[in-house]
Structure 1
Amino acid sequence: MIEQFIEGLYKNIVEGNMKLYKQFFLYDPNEEGTIEYWKNAIAFYDKLDDKDKEILFSIIKSTIVDTVSNVLAVLDGHEDIDRINVQVKLNGQENDSELQDAFLAYVEDLDE
């Protein structure tokens, strides 16, 4: 159960958002409705060579992975948020506070 959940998180959040970010950087910054933030981001991206573009996407991916990992640490009870006790069950089953570890192991296996 945990493996399915972790794989789903990775595919939906990490891979899904990486696709979105890559698409965002291909937009025409002059397209109507493009907000100033993305106009600036696209202008920055367009100045990068291919190697630096790869580095940028690596940084974005690491940031997404770290963020998911930190949220899972909260859900596992490893990180406190104003002394709120969080208990997460997957399909009614306890997860033994191993979501963060399972997620990081999944990511590590993919990177090998």
Structure 2
Amino acid sequence: MNDIFIKSIYQTIVEENREIYRQLFNETIVDKRTTEYWKQALSLYNNLSNENEEVMINNIEQTMIDTISNMLGIIDGSSTLKNCNIEPKLLLDNNDTDGELQDLFLEYVEDRGK
């Protein structure tokens, strides 16, 4: 069950958002509603070579992977929060995840060749 959860997290967050970012960078039309941050990000992306565009998308993907890993480490108890003594626990269908989500996630990523 934990494996299914991890795979779903990866597919939903990493894979889907990778394509959303790629689409946004390639298809966004700047208008008066576009935030300054997004204008700057688009400008940076549009000034990159095709090879470096892919590097930027890969960096965004790696940031998502690192963030998910950190969150799962906090939930698992292998990582701690600053100034917080709360011990979180995640149950999947009322089953304890046994503190293995971060490791399972990182194994899944590694198996995918990332």
TM-score range, shorter chain: over 0.9
Alignment map for 1:1-112 (pairs within 5 Å)? 1-26=1-26, 27-29=28-30, 31-81=31-81, 82-111=84-113
Runs (5+) with no aligned partner, structure 2: none
Give distance in 2, aligned partners of 1:80 and 1:46.
39
Percent of aligned positions that are identical? 38
Q: Deviating runs (4+, > 6 A) in structure 1?
A: none
* In structure 1, C-alpha distance between the alignment counterparts of 2:63 and 2:99, rounded to whole Å: 22
Aligned length: 111
Cα shift at 1:32? 4.0
- Normalised by the length of structure 1, the TM-score is 0.93
Distance 1:25 1:34 in 2: 13
